[in-house]
Structure 1
Amino acid sequence: MLRWGALPPRHADQYDWISVYLHDRDEQGIWRTLIFTATLALASSTALMIKSPQGPDGPVAVTICVVAAALAFAAAVPFLLHWPTRRQSLVFSFTSTATIAAAALSYSNDYVGLMGCATFAVIGGFVAYFHTVHEVIANGAVAVVCALILAVRMVMSTGDIYLMAAALAIVATLNVGLPFGVLSLAQTLRSDLRSSGRDPLTGLHNRRSFHQSAYELIMRNDTEGSRLMVIVIDLDSFKKLNDTAGHAAGDAALIRISAALADHSGISAIIGRSGGEEFVIADVDHPDPPEMVAERLRQAIAELPVPVTASIGTACAPLKNGSQVNLRLLDELVEAADAAMYAAKRAGGNQVRHAAS
């Protein structure tokens, strides 16, 4: 079972879970506005420097600043329109890094350019929060190269080693302290969320953690043609077990059943305990039909040495382009699978029912 936060290497990027975290709290709109506004301000500062005597000198340098400002603005447009994909976010960060470097190196006053390298810290903080340490290091490496070039040019033109050293100290402090501080905070937040999102008895996701993890799974597979499968499981005769054998026996049964669900679900499946004796599973692009997966789970539970069976409902639908549409789809499929589960229970239990697409 794929644990929330323990992603394969190609998905070690933080963008998916941070996006889900913000979506869950209705804060994506605020972040979109802040990111776009900050980028617009930085792009405008580059454009304003064109008119400054300390800014670009000559048609080539002016053109570089104009293009840099335009590219920075264009890269931020997705944040104005919608919550961007991971790829769009990476394009934004790489473009921003490149445009900051181009603008800083084009200024006629090397001290102004050197101090402009402090803005790399803004992008460093962004990639530290949303992406990986590799992007943080890449952004920092560009900042170091630009700062060293400008520092050498500044000493050669002014001879003021002390001013250069003071400027470098400020730039270095910001470009190291801010990104790596944000990175540490984001990783700590993720660790805390992961540990607090587990059912203490079974180790499965609790209701909130299930939805967050399932949303993250969807965002990692947000491509046309992929299929999202949801399975809802409710145990038959569980109350009778609790009443006759005691809650300790009920707890032991839940632990065994949870292990069976994990053993017979796909490696990428998100498994949650949504209620006392109710479980929910979400997976994308499982090789087997949902009815077959559900029947395998039903048999696994029936074969356990516990006097309970399971009524299971399933629902499945293709994902579409657009994360917001697919996030709503998850909720719809959970409702449909839940209704199918109740149909199985009304038919006598220990059965599987599939919701019509």
Structure 2
Amino acid sequence: MEWFHRWWRQPDHFDWITGYLRARGMLGVARWNLAFSTAALALVPAVLTLSSRSPHGGIAEAVTWVSVFGGLIIGALWAIRWPTCGQSVGHILAANLFIGLACYVQDDPMIGLMGCTVFATTGGYIALFHTPGYMLYNFGVALYVGALQATRLAVETDDSALAVGLLLLVLVLNIAVPFAVQAVVHALGADLLRAARDPLTGLLNRRAVYQQIEHLMTAHRDQHVHLAVAVVDLDEFKQLNDSHGHAVGDQALVAVARALRTAAGDTAVVGRLGGEEFLLAELLEADRIDEWAQRMCAAVAVVPFRVTASVGVAAVCLPLLFDGEGQAVIHTLIGAADQAMYAAKRAGGNQFRRDDRSACR
């Protein structure tokens, strides 16, 4: 039961897997592969309608064609663009429904039973991108339709061994494929987590924080909110190092990192750019941006070291006009926030400045 609870509580992987693929230039390849595979699988029941063993006429044939066209539509959606997390869940649940319907209405129970092996592909996708709850649902549908067709096969052929053997094949595939994919994702995620973290503070490093900001934009690209970016630089940090040594300076950086992480909240991206400079990003309503920046200043001011923070903030409205402009927007925002941070430092530090030129377009 303890193992089951740990497995059940695994988080959704969609955003970080998407970022991993995008960072390596593989997102387009993955998108077209999914589009082609989905469309090809949708055409299978269409081809089977030419067989004498496939349903002809009536509701069964109509349901078969609904499944075919439904699968082709999902394939087309993949071809158009990479989905958001919610859209991805919708795609996979719709695909699961169409597969189940196509298998359920087959006149020949052996065809319907063998068709249930296709659930292994949806299960593998869910294991790669989404949560165990969807995996369990996918397996449940495969088990229900497969058991129903296996029962029909045993009755019609009077060969229970054949029915049981084919059902076992279906179940093994629907268990082995998703769990194998999930094991790889777990191992890959652990390695990436270590590679993405600053070893001193445990915050995201420069490369990872840029990726996570892009994930934030991608995951919420259809929402009308502001993406706010803050550059935080510690005041008088060099004097602290010179007076008390680098060990104390490191302790101060760890304390500041913890304070920023707590003040920013669970949904914010928080990273260390290097030295005494930090970077944060969050989706906010327009009237909360200044309060958010001030909260970062206040969080640093109360750490038990003689440091304060100069904070520069810049923001832009979502959604973006084009999918490909995310990186350019991120670099522009960080540059604007960096200039605003220097303005705060020139004004005496322990305060924030906001770059208004980067407001909504």
Q: TM-score range by the shorter chain?
A: 0.7 to 0.9
Q: 2: distance between equivalents of 1:195 and 1:286?
A: 32
Moved more, 150-159 or 161-170: 161-170
2:260 is the alignment partner of 1:261: yes
Structure 1 residues 119 and 199, CA gap change in structure 2 (3 angstroms): same
Q: 2: distance between equivalents of 1:290 and 1:147?
A: 53
The share of aligned pairs that are identical, in percent, is 37
- Matched-pair contact (CA < 8 Å) for 1:76–1:92: no
Structure 1 residues 257 and 90, CA gap change in structure 2 (3 angstroms): closer
Structure 1 residues 130 and 264, CA gap change in structure 2 (3 angstroms): closer
Question: What secondary structure does 1:252 align onto?
Answer: helix
**Deviations 1:136-174, CA, capped at 9 Å, x for gaps:** 111111111111111111111111222222211211110
Structure 1 residues 224 and 120, CA gap change in structure 2 (3 angstroms): closer
- Matched-pair contact (CA < 8 Å) for 1:224–1:321: no
Moved more, 346-355 or 80-89: 346-355
Amino acid at match of 1:86: C
Residue 5 of structure 2 corresponds to none
Question: What secondary structure does 1:264 align onto?
Answer: helix
Q: Shift of the alpha carbon at 1:47?
A: 0.8
Structure 2 unaligned segments of length 5 or more: list them: 1-8
Amino acid at match of 1:180: F
The 5 Å alignment of 1:104-115 reads 104-115=103-114
Structure 1 residues 161 and 305, CA gap change in structure 2 (3 angstroms): closer
The 5 Å alignment of 1:213-252 reads 213-252=212-251
Moved more, 33-42 or 153-162: 153-162
**Deviations 1:55-84, CA, capped at 9 Å, x for gaps:** 224343332222211111112221101111
Q: Shift of the alpha carbon at 1:20?
A: 2.2
Residue 78 of structure 1 corresponds to 77
Residue 136 of structure 2 corresponds to 137
Structure 1 residues 295 and 96, CA gap change in structure 2 (3 angstroms): closer
- Matched-pair contact (CA < 8 Å) for 1:319–1:326: no
Structure 1 residues 291 and 160, CA gap change in structure 2 (3 angstroms): same
The 5 Å alignment of 1:14-29 reads 14-29=13-28
Question: What secondary structure does 2:203 align onto?
Answer: coil
Structure 1 residues 294 and 101, CA gap change in structure 2 (3 angstroms): closer
- Matched-pair contact (CA < 8 Å) for 2:230–2:293: yes
Residue 172 of structure 1 corresponds to 171
The 5 Å alignment of 1:236-315 reads 236-285=235-284, 289-315=288-314
2:345 is the alignment partner of 1:345: yes
Residue 330 of structure 1 corresponds to 330
Q: 1: distance between equivalents of 2:264 and 2:281?
A: 10
Structure 1 residues 133 and 322, CA gap change in structure 2 (3 angstroms): farther
Question: What secondary structure does 1:26 align onto?
Answer: coil
Runs of 4+ residues deviating >4 angstroms: 302-305, 346-351
Q: How many residues align?
A: 348
Q: Cα RMSD over matched residues?
A: 2.6
Structure 1 residues 238 and 119, CA gap change in structure 2 (3 angstroms): same
- Matched-pair contact (CA < 8 Å) for 2:35–2:74: no
Amino acid at match of 1:146: V
**Deviations 1:318-339, CA, capped at 9 Å, x for gaps:** 2216783684433332221012
The 5 Å alignment of 1:7-86 reads 12-86=11-85
Moved more, 248-257 or 317-326: 317-326
- Matched-pair contact (CA < 8 Å) for 1:72–1:99: yes
**Deviations 1:261-282, CA, capped at 9 Å, x for gaps:** 2343344322211111110111
Structure 1 unaligned segments of length 5 or more: list them: 1-8
- Matched-pair contact (CA < 8 Å) for 1:222–1:322: no
Q: TM-score, normalised by structure 2?
A: 0.87
Structure 1 residues 173 and 304, CA gap change in structure 2 (3 angstroms): closer
- Structure with the bigger RCO (C-alpha within 8 Å, sep 6+) is 1
Amino acid at match of 1:316: A
Question: What secondary structure does 1:284 align onto?
Answer: strand
Structure 1 residues 28 and 348, CA gap change in structure 2 (3 angstroms): same
Residue 355 of structure 1 corresponds to 355
Question: What secondary structure does 1:274 align onto?
Answer: strand
Q: Shift of the alpha carbon at 1:51?
A: 0.5
